[in-house]
Chain A
C-alpha cells in the first residue's frame, strides 16, 4: 500500500500527466469563476476530449478541472455576492459583507486557505478509508437518508439568528417549492401551471442567483458607491485571512470533516455540506453577533467544506461504483470510457491510480491557491471600482448563469421571480438560506420517505441510526434556543 501511495505521487509529475493537470486547472479556474457553469457542466464539456488520453492523463485532466471549480467559485461569491457555483452560495453571507467593509483580501485569503486545507483533508480521507468504508456506506439506506435530510433542515434553522421559527417556515416553503414538477409516485404534474418547462422542477442555479445575487446588485446600485465603501489597510489583507484559517483551526478542521462525511454519503452533495458547515460554525461560536455581517469564521466553514467534499464523494464512486452526485456520475462515465471498472476490484488492481487521484486533488489545489495568491490583491481592488461600471456586467453574467444550465430563457424568468422574492425576504428580514436548502433537500426527503414507507411502513422511524439522527436534530433545535455555552475554539 505504501508503494502504491508513493507510486501515485510520482505519477503526477510525468510530463504528459502534469501538463494535462495544469490545463485542467486553467479550465476549472475560468469555469469556476463564471456563475452558473459549474463542475458538472465543465466535466460534461471536457469528457469528449479524454477518449484519446491514457487513463492517468485523463483523470489528471478531469480532476484538475473539478478540484478548482469550487475554490474559484468562492471568489465571485465574496467579491460580488454572485455565487460562481451553487455550492459557493454560503460564502456570500459573510464573505461579501467582508468585501463591503474593505476586507475582501482577508475573506479571499481565508476562503482559499481553508479550501486548500479542506481539499487536503478530503483527499487523505479518500486514501485512508477507501479500503474500509463499506460498512459505513452500506449502513445508510433510504430511512437514514430521510433522517439525514431532516437533520440538514434543523441545522439550517440555526442559521436564522434569533428567529428560528422564520427559518423553519422558510425551509418549509423551500420544501413546498421542491414539489413543483412531476410527482415521482404517480407522474402527474404538480403546481406546474400547465407549463412543460416546470415538469422537471425548479432549477437550483436560477433560484440561487435570484435569491442572493439580485438583491446584492440592487443594493450596490442603491448605495451608489463601489462594493467596498471602506479601506481597512493591512487588517483586511490576504495574509490576515491565511492566519485566520489557523487561528480558527478547530472550525476549519471540523468543517472539512463535515464536508468529507457528507461527500461520502451518496445523494447529499456539497450544496448541503456548505450550509451544514456554516451552521456548525455559527453554533460552535459563543459570539454570534457578527455572523451574517462579515465574520471570517462564516467564510472558513463553507470554504473548507466545499473542497473536502470532492475527496469524500470519490470514496463511494471508486470503492463501489456508486456515484453520489451528478459530477461523480459523469466521472463514472470517464471510468467506463477508459475501461476501468470502479468497485472493490479497483482497490486491488488500480490502487496506485486511486492514490494518484489523491495527489491530483492535493497538487491541483496547491497550484490553484498559489496562483490565486499572486493576484488576489489585484482582485480585491475590483471592490473599489464604482458600482455603476460593474452592474451591467454582473446582470449579464447572472442571466447567462441561469441560461447556461438548460439553455432556456424560462430559467432567466425564474431569476427575475426569485430575485423579487429575495429582495422581499431581505427587506422583511426573513432568512434566505433555509429556503434554498429546503429546495435542495425536498426531493431527497420525499423520495426516501416514500421508499422507506413502502418497505417498512412507519417502523422505519425506529431504526437505530434513524433514531440517533432524529434525536441529534432535536438536540440541535433545543440547543439553539439556549445561550451562553463555552467557546470551542
Chain B
C-alpha cells in the first residue's frame, strides 16, 4: 500500500495526460488493496482469538531441513536421493540447519552470483562461482566440484560464445583493465 501511495503521489507535477492513467488506475488499485488489507486483518484477528495457528502451506516455512542425506521422520514416501557420489564416500554429514538459515544462505549466494558475474563476466564467473558454491555451500568433494565447474564453463563457452555468438560480457574488472 505504501508503494501505491507513492505511485499516486509521484505524478502530481506531471502534465494532465501523463497522470490520467496512473491516477485512475492507482486510486482503483489502492481502494481494492485497502479492502484486502481489512479482510486479511480481520482473518488474522479471528485466528488469534480462536487460538488456531495456520499450518504453513509453503515449503519455505518448514521447521527443519537437513543435509542431502536427510529423511523426514515418518515420511516413508521419500526415497533415497540419487547421488553422483556414493553416500558413504567419507563425506562428513552436516547437522540439520533451520529453514530460515538456509533461505538466508541461498539468498546471499544468489546475490553473490550477481556480484561475481558483474565483476568477472559469465565465462570466468561460471567457473569460479560454481566451484565456490560447491565447496563452501554444498560441501562437495574437490573432484566433483572441479568437474561441475569445468563443465559449466565449457557449456557457457561452447553454447553461447562459440555456438550462438552471444556476447557474454567480460565483467567490470576486465573492462577496467581493458582485458578481453
Contact = CB atoms under 8 A, between A and B. Distances in A.
Interface in B29-47: 29, 32-33, 35-36, 39
Interface in B65-123: 65-68, 70, 77-79, 81-84, 99, 102-103, 105-107, 109-111, 113-114, 117-118, 122
A179 interface: yes
A385 interface: yes
Contacts of B138: 388-389, 391
Given A176-B22, A392-B129, A386 B82 contact: yes
A411 to B, nearest CB: 11
B59 A219 contact: yes
B111 to A, nearest CB: 7
B84 A389 contact: yes
Nearest to B13: A188
A67 B177 CA distance: 43
A34 B133 CA distance: 22
Which of under 10, 10 to 19, 20 to 34, or 35 or more describes the interface residues of B? 35 or more
Which of under 10, 10 to 19, 20 to 34, or 35 or more describes the interface residues of A? 35 or more
B137 interface: yes
A43 B82 CA distance: 39
A395 B7 CA distance: 32
B129 A396 contact: yes
Interface in A224-242: 224-226, 229-231
A190 B21 CA distance: 11
Interface string B150-173: 001001100110011111110000
A179 B118 contact: no
A229 B76 CA distance: 11
Contacts of A191: 7, 10
Contacts, number: 188
B15 interface: yes
Given A179-B21, A185-B18, A419-B110, A190 B29 contact: no
Contact of B114 (A31, A185, A188, A399): A399
A395 B109 CA distance: 9
A384 B81 contact: yes
A400 interface: yes
A384 B68 contact: no
A185 B58 contact: no
How would you classify the secondary structure of chain B's contact residues: helix, strand, loop or mixed? Answer: helix
A389 B137 CA distance: 11
A172 B59 contact: no
A176 B29 contact: yes
A169 B164 contact: no
A407 B11 CA distance: 31
A393 B130 contact: yes
Nearest to B172: A409
Contacts of A163: 36
A221 interface: yes
B163 to A, nearest CB: 8
Interface in A380-427: 381, 384-389, 391-393, 395-396, 399-400, 403-404, 407, 409, 412-413, 415-416, 419, 423, 426-427
A183 B144 CA distance: 52
A45 B159 CA distance: 14
Given A392-B133, A403-B122, A407-B167, A224 B67 contact: yes
Contacts of B29: 169, 172-173, 175-176
A152 B169 CA distance: 38
A392 B134 CA distance: 8
B48 to A, nearest CB: 17
Contacts of B118: 409, 412
A225 B35 CA distance: 40
Contacts of B58: 426-427, 429
A415 B114 CA distance: 10
Given A231-B79, A388-B138, A176 B117 contact: no
Interface in A176-193: 176, 179, 183, 185-186, 188, 190-191
A225 B81 contact: yes
A32 B66 CA distance: 35
A338 B88 CA distance: 63
Contacts of B79: 230-231
Interface in A10-62: 30-31, 34, 37, 45
Given A172-B32, A222-B65, A388 B60 contact: no
A130 B111 CA distance: 50
Contact of B18 (A186, A393, A449): A186
A416 B106 CA distance: 12
Given A165-B35, A389-B84, A392-B152, A37 B106 contact: no
A363 B39 CA distance: 53
A183 B39 CA distance: 34
B112 to A, nearest CB: 9
Contacts of B130: 392-393, 396
27 contacts: A30-B159, A30-B163, A31-B164, A172-B25, A172-B28, A175-B29, A176-B25, A179-B25, A185-B17, A185-B18, A190-B10, A222-B59, A222-B65, A222-B106, A224-B67, A229-B78, A381-B82, A385-B82, A386-B83, A389-B138, A389-B144, A389-B148, A396-B152, A403-B122, A412-B114, A415-B114, A426-B60
Interface of A: 30-31, 34, 37, 45, 163, 165-166, 168-169, 172-173, 175-176, 179, 183, 185-186, 188, 190-191, 214-215, 217-219, 221-226, 229-231, 381, 384-389, 391-393, 395-396, 399-400, 403-404, 407, 409, 412-413, 415-416, 419, 423, 426-427, 429, 446, 449-450
